[in-house]
Amino acid sequence: MTYNDAIEFLYQLRWFGAKFGLANTRKLAALAGNPQESLRFIHVAGTNGKGSTCAMLESIYRIAGLRTGLFTSPHLVAFGERIQVNRQTLTEGQVIRLVSEIQPLLAQFPPEEHPTFFEVVTVMALRHFAAQHCDLVVWETGLGGRLDATNIVTPLASVITNIQYDHQKWLGETLPSIAAEKAGIIKPHVPILTATEDADALRVIRETAHTQAAPLTVVDPAVIDAPPLDALELPLLGRHQKINASLALATVTALSSRLPVTHDAILGGLARVHWPGRLQLIARPSGQRVLLDGAHNVGGAEILAEALKQYFQGEPLTLVLGILQDKDLAGMCEVLAPLADRILLVPVHSERTASTQQLAQMCRRAQPAAQLQQFSSLAAALADCAFAPFVTIAGSLYLVGEAMELLHLSPRTNLERELNEWRAA
């Protein structure tokens, strides 16, 4: 098997769609020897900030001397980003080995119950982390929590970053219903920590924690103005990252008796955290500055808008915007369009992309004064704004991944980006 063969095999798994339920993942993990039983986890769910919080936790524990596993999704450019040990992504050889090991196990499923891409990758990650003898795995949910494939583990702690609107088709149309799905990661007697602020969503989390006899910690946003966070300079832009840091700090504190970490390791881990594609500022050789941010739902758009006002107030903004069709297009345009002088609308490299015509109508309503243009590709838009002093590319992590390739921040791996595609089974 070659590396391209392995990626093609993973690509073909897309045809089995995306579906909720734990039976397939449990069966596949059992066939693989239940590698999760030899591992320790921190399980992280939430609408926004999951990846950043995972990156902070991983950085803290790695600086403290633990061998860490990190499982996140989607990947921005290369598949191996999803499964990392001590922040080293999978090598091509490791991908080949993991695919070769999992293929015979899949033959034991009837065609109508064939595991999905995400179920297969979840078990591949478990096998890799076990084989690498990880001391701790920071484990991000894919979609929701209760019926997400990652929920077959029993962690040392469960974390819910926040509850906002996203994936309503799958998780429900109200914040309490979304909270109920994400609260499904809460396990009996396992500490649960959250920075959720919405009262109705928080009530659901409290009730679930009480039912499960799980000790609950609710992080107060005011802690970011108190030591040690008040004086900490994070490498990640945005006030929201201080809230994510406070949640990571609370988690480390809750686990201090089982996973002792020094104060210096906590501060060192937070000070050195790296998480690309989220308010990532790039200085190009031409002097142009490009801000990359996934901002893939209204909550994410509001975070980006706050950061633009905080760090770039008064600067002429060229906004390159592409959004997936299943998002709140109008809501996101209402938040972002009024901040821009020029808006360049592009398709996301996905079969689920919203059309630039749709976005144009919504942006015109939200910001009639902006210069508005539609492009057939992100590459064409970037060529058009090559001399703009400040450009923000936002609306989808898929779009950010493509931008990283076009800006030569990552090697070109088009087929691997397409592994992020999914549809209902």
- Where in the sequence is the domain holding 206, given as residue range(s)? 3-271
b/e string for 331-349 if b means 16 or more Cβ within 10 A? bbbbbbbebbebbbbbbbb
Do residues 223 and 334 both lie within one domain? no
What pLDDT score was predicted for residue 310?
Answer: 92
What pLDDT score was predicted for residue 81?
Answer: 95
Tokens of 33: 């020897």
Find the mean pLDDT for residues 113-140.
97
Where residue 372 sits, what CATH number does that domain have? 3.90.190.20
Do residues 133 and 63 both lie within one domain? yes
What pLDDT score was predicted for residue 82?
Answer: 97
CA nearest 217: which of 197, 241, 247? 247
Tokens of 276: 């690309």
- End-to-end, the C-alpha distance of the chain in Å comes to 28
Pick the last residue of a domain from 228, 244, 271: 271
Element (H, E) at 422: none
d(CA 154, CA 137) in angstroms, rounded, equals: 12
Do residues 79 and 181 both lie within one domain? yes
pLDDT band at 171 (very low <50, low <70, confident <90, very high): confident
Alpha carbon 309 to chain centroid, angstroms = 24
d(CA 7, CA 5) in angstroms, rounded, equals: 6
Do residues 206 and 339 both lie within one domain? no
d(CA 124, CA 122) in angstroms, rounded, equals: 5
**Ramachandran area for residue 408 (φ above 0: left; ψ -120 to 50: alpha; else beta):** left
423 domain residue, yes or no: no
Angle, helix 117-131 to helix 3-12, in steps of 10 degrees: 140
pLDDT at 425 over 50: no
pLDDT at 170 over 90: no
**Lowest mean per-residue pLDDT among 224-228, 314-318, 372-376:** 224-228
Do residues 130 and 105 both lie within one domain? yes
Do residues 284 and 255 both lie within one domain? no
User: Regarding predicted confidence, which is higher, 19 or 219?
Assistant: 219
d(CA 363, CA 336) in angstroms, rounded, equals: 9
d(CA 62, CA 319) in angstroms, rounded, equals: 36
**Lowest mean per-residue pLDDT among 14-18, 94-98, 290-294, 387-391:** 14-18
Where residue 100 sits, what CATH number does that domain have? 3.40.1190.10
User: Regarding predicted confidence, which is higher, 423 or 245?
Assistant: 245
415 domain residue, yes or no: no
> Do the beta carbons of residue 219 and residue 247 sit within 8 Å?
yes
pLDDT band at 101 (very low <50, low <70, confident <90, very high): very high
